[in-house]
Structure 1
Amino acid sequence: MAFSRANPEILCFPEDGKIDQNVIESQAVPRDYTNSTYTRGHLNPSSHHHDMGDRNATFTLTNIVPQKAASNAGTWARLEKEVGARLQGFCLGPAYVITGALPYASGPQPWINNRVAVPEYLWSAYCCPAYNASLPKWARPFFPTYAAVGRNDPQSGPEIVPVNSKAKAMVRGYDVKRMPLADLEDVLEQRLAMPVTLFQGQCV
């Protein structure tokens, strides 16, 4: 894996800025984010890819959710770096990563431009079916699977992800809670009111 970021302006839209009306009606477009208080948060991080073409392919608005900067460039970015380094260091074959977002469970759902729903939380889980048998003791809980949930709203309650009151002011309220895969599945099942199994086979 490589960990440099590709050009964040690559969004797979025409250079002349003319976007087909069918596209505008079916997905987010760059102007939706203009003058909003949200950054473009990757679900599939560009930094987790070897090939420049693969990295560039992550810069599409179908791979992006509205994310507060303190999460996107702070706490969630640290999680992405941890996961990338962990899989690069100890995974011996393919690794599988699933990342998603959770809407608000109650109250008014925030939107950008009345078009793009803002998630209350982001979540991610990975599975590495084949990994180094001589894992250091500190790394053993993280294999073959592990997961996390991150806050995207500092005003959200502490039920899913508690707030670290000692965190720096710039990232306080955007905490990320690391957890076993089963704990994340429980969170998703409760929020979505349906059974959730993220991986199968060796990744269960």
Structure 2
Amino acid sequence: MHSSIGVIFLLLCCFDGLVLGEIHQNFSKCLDFFYKGTPPQVNYSVGYQPICQRFNNQYRFASMYHRQSRAPLYSAYIISSGKGKRPNSTWMYEPQLAFSRASPEMKPFNATVDQNVIESQAVPQDYSHSNYTRGHLTPSMHHNTEDDRAATFTLTNIVPQRNGSNSGPWNSLEKKVMGNFKTFCKGPMYVITGAMPYADRAHWINNRVSVPEYMWSAYCCPIYKAKLPPDVRPTFPAYAALGRNDRDSGEEFVPVNPKAKASERGYDVRKMPLHTLEKILEQRLAMPIRLFDGQCQQLSQL
């Protein structure tokens, strides 16, 4: 294994020095977004901050945020049918990352951003002229209500993502997951989407926000149709994917399709069983990882 800042991004310890208030040392107020109320089993380094993402007086999803990287490790949510429209992009921030006694609600950025906010988290200016898009971990397309969709536009749910990935293969994956949910899932579908750092060294935009080498996602649908098409059976009750965010990365984890159109070449997504993704994350991060309690056991089929 390589040792690096990238891998230190997720090394062992416990939650120290976290602020109090609506932001807590765990996800106790928003466990409903996790299968069986159990967040991923991972040991985190100092600087990781659980956030129960709250908008208009309601919890919308959950994120594990890393302060030093000014980016989330993952976001967890329950998918809905995705019938709503994409809202206007009003980017928001988490006040309690900057001020422990501030409002528990995410807030839109003002024209002038407070210095404490700039120091505590990513701001819109970080993405200006960076050649990276704002990549949603919880995508707005996976939600119905206007408020649920608007809440995904907090920068604590965003990582720097190449446009070739964001508007190409990764967007196709998000649509495929939605299709599986609508067609085959008969109960709640729990989704966790995250970012995997570089192994050799950290990469940054604006010398402030950590850039992931890969995006990853996994879902758990323990109640699903009894009769699945043969090609769909391996994807239930759980399935996962790993996507390239750097077209110059090696092909150890995700092969490159040389026939892909030029704008998307090198941003391929590899779909895989849940345990395969967990093994890849364990290899990169040098620690055991379990994304869903009991590996998302089948409850029943309808």
Which category of TM-score, normalised to the shorter sequence, fits these structures?
Answer: over 0.9
Query: Matches of 1:50 and 1:199 in 2, distance apart?
Result: 24
**Contact 1:8 1:59 survives alignment (8 Å):** no
**Contact 1:129 1:202 survives alignment (8 Å):** no
The CA RMSD over aligned residues, in Å, is: 1.4
Cα distance change of structure 1 residues 189 and 62 upon mapping to structure 2, 3 Å threshold: same
1:135 counterpart letter in structure 2: L
Which of 82, 92, 96 is matched with 1:2 structurally?
A: 82
3-state SS of the aligned residue for 2:130?
A: coil
1:152 counterpart letter in structure 2: N
Which structure would you say has the larger RCO, counting Cα contacts within 8 Å and 6 or more residues apart?
Answer: 2
Partner of 2:138: 44
Unaligned runs of 5+ in 1: none
Per-residue deviation at 1:39?
0.2
Per-residue deviation at 1:2?
1.4
Task: Work out the number of aligned pairs and report it.
Answer: 203
For residues 23-81 of structure 1, give each alpha carbon's deviation from its aligned partner in whole angstroms, at most 9, with x where no partner exists.
Answer: 11111000100111000000011111111100110011000000000000001000000
2:231 counterpart letter in structure 1: W
Cα distance change of structure 1 residues 164 and 3 upon mapping to structure 2, 3 Å threshold: farther
Cα distance change of structure 1 residues 70 and 3 upon mapping to structure 2, 3 Å threshold: farther
Q: Which has the higher helix share?
A: 1
1:79 corresponds to 2:173: yes
Per-residue deviation at 1:88?
1.5
2:248 counterpart letter in structure 1: Q
Cα distance change of structure 1 residues 41 and 3 upon mapping to structure 2, 3 Å threshold: farther
Query: Matches of 1:14 and 1:199 in 2, distance apart?
Result: 32
Calculate the TM-score normalised by the size of structure 2.
Answer: 0.65
Partner of 1:163: 256
Which of 184, 195, 198 is matched with 2:288 structurally?
A: 195
1:138 corresponds to 2:231: yes
Query: Matches of 1:60 and 1:121 in 2, distance apart?
Result: 21
3-state SS of the aligned residue for 2:260?
A: coil
Which of 123, 128, 153 is matched with 1:29 structurally?
A: 123
Which of 204, 211, 224 is matched with 1:111 structurally?
A: 204
**Contact 2:240 2:271 survives alignment (8 Å):** yes
**Contact 1:32 1:115 survives alignment (8 Å):** yes
Partner of 2:45: none
Unaligned runs of 5+ in 2: 1-80, 93-106, 298-302
**Contact 1:150 1:161 survives alignment (8 Å):** yes
3-state SS of the aligned residue for 1:137?
A: coil
Identity %, equivalent residues: 62
Cα distance change of structure 1 residues 187 and 40 upon mapping to structure 2, 3 Å threshold: same
Q: Which has the higher strand share?
A: 2
3-state SS of the aligned residue for 1:104?
A: coil
Per-residue deviation at 1:149?
0.3
